[in-house]
């Protein structure tokens, strides 16, 4: 502020007194500020950006804050974790020498009973209906065995998990109560760069914390939700400079009218606390996922069936000569899935997608988000540039099984229900194991089918329900209930797992 006062003071008083020192402005700040405002207002040549504060010219966020905070809740996720089994007195090499199990002497038998520990984590959520539906992040509730919701007025409820979606990091909860305060949906499409927004949540368990900032960018893709291709991760974040910290996850991003325009999800920071930017899942995606989870129990995910690359300067430098593309803009179709939505509509490899439903498509996040807001069997209009001619295609979107129909709740996402991260088994590994192909388990997540079946990391899945799984593409297409898993471990040991309910 000293520097600002110095500049303003010198600009207004130089003709009269030859300048004013910084010390004078510091000691007599209020008097000189008022004087400068009057002088500048009467001096058009200095520009209107030096005018004084005028009520009504700046956003009043009090209405939005005071109303929206009533619908934002604190979520406590309790996870029951099995602890490693040890003897009553810990590890004892004397017992091991005589072949006595380390659990000997422990209450519950020679091998010991499993012991569990409760771990608690915190997050936020938003009430979206008077009868108790609450939206939050998937990572807030993932793996939880018990969920508690604390309202802004202090009331606490046990919550039921209605459904969750790792691809968008959105989950839907339900509490048994009526006439609750709600937050209406706004329009994330209508958000403008520089527009004021509020972030409301429970950072560090400080419930009902409100911070403000502006929209710094839209349609950001960070590659943060998942590195697993089977997850269909969709990122098109709203970037803001509103302060968001651990515990804000699942909380509300609100516009100046008090409408929900996003769910706060990520922080970009060197420390994990707020020193940078925060990112929110836009309302356009949140609303679609919530409606699907409430109505169907699963997300009705629509797929275009293409592989693509954004045409930027890097693409032109690398592939411009090969493709004949000289200008940036649009998305290059590098592959088309046979029998997929794009293929059936007539889109071909080498085409350049320029618009979807009239919206320009110049980055991956926008393309994925425009498709993600639709369901299988929906029709979209896609503008394609082919050999310097523009063609318009009407594309009927399909589900992950390649069909133009809605899925049923029983048609679970196999990759999701397995509970893990997966990669294609490489050619070298397939040769060593003498298999045609497969999907290797890179990570086993707690609570999934793999964990319950005691499948170990590194296992190569070759068949699910007696259906061959040669690649990640095959895994993505599976939607049925998993009853059997067959495969082989890297040491060559074959294994079959039959699931019994």
List the one residue out of 60, 70, 218, 213 whose CA is nearest residue 154: 70
In this model, does residue 15 exceed pLDDT 70?
Answer: no
Catalogue the active-site residues.
139, 169, 249
In this model, does residue 35 exceed pLDDT 70?
Answer: no
pLDDT at 403 (0 to 100): 86
pLDDT > 70 in the chain, percent:
78
In this model, does residue 64 exceed pLDDT 50?
Answer: yes
pLDDT at 143 (0 to 100): 84
pLDDT at 410 (0 to 100): 66
CATH pick for 414-498 out of 2.40.110.10, 2.40.30.20, 3.30.43.10, 2.30.42.10: 2.30.42.10
Domain ranges in the chain are 2-50, 59-299, 306-396, 414-498
**Distances in Å between the alpha carbon of 71 and those of 197, 248, 443?**
16, 14, 37
By the 10 Å C-beta count (0-12 exposed, 13-18 middle, 19+ buried), 4 is classed as exposed
Residue 330 or 112, more confident:
330
In this model, does residue 415 exceed pLDDT 80?
Answer: no
Give the number of other Cβ atoms within 10 Å of residue 493's Cβ. 9
List the one residue out of 81, 152, 77, 150 whose CA is nearest residue 114: 81
pLDDT at 446 (0 to 100): 77
Beta bridge partners of 496: 486
pLDDT at 297 (0 to 100): 87
Identify the weakest region by mean pLDDT among 9-18, 270-279, 368-377.
9-18
Rg (CA), the chain: 29
Q: Does the pTM exceed 0.85? A: no
Mean pLDDT within 385-390:
91
Fold: same for 59-299 and 414-498: no
b/e map of 77-108 (b: 16 or more CB within 10 Å)? Answer: bebeeeeeeebeeeebeebeeeeeebbeebee
pLDDT at 189 (0 to 100): 93
CATH 2.30.42.10 assigned to 306-396: yes
Mean pLDDT within 290-307:
92
pLDDT digits (tens, 9 = 90+) for 241-263: 999 999 999 999 999 999 999 99
pLDDT digits (tens, 9 = 90+) for 318-359: 999 999 999 999 999 999 998 899 999 999 999 999 999 999
pLDDT at 499 (0 to 100): 81
By the 10 Å C-beta count (0-12 exposed, 13-18 middle, 19+ buried), 501 is classed as exposed
Which phi and psi angles does 52 have, rounded to 5°? -75, 165
The pLDDT confidence band at residue 178, using thresholds 50, 70 and 90, is very high
Where does 211-311 have alpha helices with state H? 283-296
pLDDT at 114 (0 to 100): 65
List the one residue out of 433, 492, 439 whose CA is nearest residue 462: 439
CATH pick for 59-299 out of 1.10.540.10, 2.40.100.10, 2.40.10.120, 3.40.50.300: 2.40.10.120
pLDDT at 40 (0 to 100): 35
Residue 227 or 114, more confident:
114
Mean pLDDT within 410-419:
75
Residue 351 or 387, more confident:
351
pLDDT at 90 (0 to 100): 52
pLDDT at 30 (0 to 100): 37
pLDDT > 90 in the chain, percent:
58
pLDDT at 24 (0 to 100): 36
The pLDDT confidence band at residue 99, using thresholds 50, 70 and 90, is very low
In this model, does residue 202 exceed pLDDT 80?
Answer: yes
In this model, does residue 174 exceed pLDDT 70?
Answer: yes
Mean pLDDT within 217-243:
78
**Distances in Å between the alpha carbon of 101 and those of 88, 109, 488?**
11, 11, 30
pLDDT at 56 (0 to 100): 62
């Amino acid at each position: 502020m000293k520097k600002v006062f110095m500049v303003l003071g010198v600009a207004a008083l130089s003709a009269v007194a030859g300048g004013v020192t910084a010390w004078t402005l510091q000691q007599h700040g209020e008097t000189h500020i008022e004087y400068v405002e009057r002088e500048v207002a009467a001096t058009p040549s200095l520009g209107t950006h030096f005018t004084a504060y005028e009520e009504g010219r700046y956003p009043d966020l009090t209405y939005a804050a005071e109303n929206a905070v009533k619908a934002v809740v604190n979520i406590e996720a309790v996870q029951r974790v099995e602890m490693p089994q040890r003897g009553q007195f810990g590890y004892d090499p004397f017992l091991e020498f005589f072949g006595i199990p380390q659990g000997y002497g422990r209450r519950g038998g020679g091998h010991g009973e499993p012991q569990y520990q409760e771990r608690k984590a915190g997050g936020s959520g938003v009430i979206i209906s008077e009868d108790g539906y609450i939206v939050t992040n998937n990572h807030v509730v993932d793996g939880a065995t018990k969920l508690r919701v604390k309202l802004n007025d202090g009331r606490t409820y046990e919550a039921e998990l209605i459904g969750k979606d790792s691809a968008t990091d959105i989950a839907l909860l339900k509490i048994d109560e009526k006439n609750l305060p709600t937050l209406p949906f706004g329009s994330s499409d209508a958000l403008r760069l520089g527009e004021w927004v509020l972030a409301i949540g429970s950072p560090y368990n400080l419930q009902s914390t409100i911070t403000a900032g502006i929209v710094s960018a839209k349609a950001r893709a960070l590659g943060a939700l998942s590195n697993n291709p089977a997850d269909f991760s969709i990122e098109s974040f709203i970037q803001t400079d509103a302060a968001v910290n651990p515990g804000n996850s699942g909380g509300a991003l609100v516009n100046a009218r008090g409408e929900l325009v996003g769910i706060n999800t990520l922080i970009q920071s060197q420390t994990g606390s707020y020193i940078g930017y925060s990112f929110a899942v836009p309302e356009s995606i949140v609303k679609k996922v919530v409606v699907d989870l409430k109505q169907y129990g699963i997300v009705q995910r629509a797929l275009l069936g293409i592989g693509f690359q954004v045409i930027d300067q890097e693409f032109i430098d690398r592939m411009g000569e090969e493709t004949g593309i000289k200008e940036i803009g649009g998305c290059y179709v590098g592959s088309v899935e046979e029998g997929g939505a794009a293929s059936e509509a007539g889109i071909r490899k080498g085409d350049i997608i320029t618009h979807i439903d009239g919206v320009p498509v110049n980055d991956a996040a926008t393309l994925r988000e425009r498709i993600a807001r639709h369901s299988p069997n929906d029709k979209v209009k896609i503008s394609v540039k082919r050999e310097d001619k523009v063609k318009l295609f009407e594309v009927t979107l399909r589900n992950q099984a390649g069909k133009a129909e809605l899925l049923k709740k029983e048609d679970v996402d196999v990759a999701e229900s397995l509970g893990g991260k997966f990669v294609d088994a490489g050619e070298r590994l397939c040769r060593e194991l003498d298999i045609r192909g497969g999907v290797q388990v890179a990570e086993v997540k707690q609570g999934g089918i793999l964990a319950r079946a005691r499948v170990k990391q590194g296992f190569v899945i070759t068949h699910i329900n007696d259906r061959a799984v040669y690649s990640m593409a095959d895994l993505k297409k599976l939607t049925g209930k998993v009853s059997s898993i067959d495969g082989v471990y890297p040491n060559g040991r074959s294994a079959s797992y039959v699931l019994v309910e």
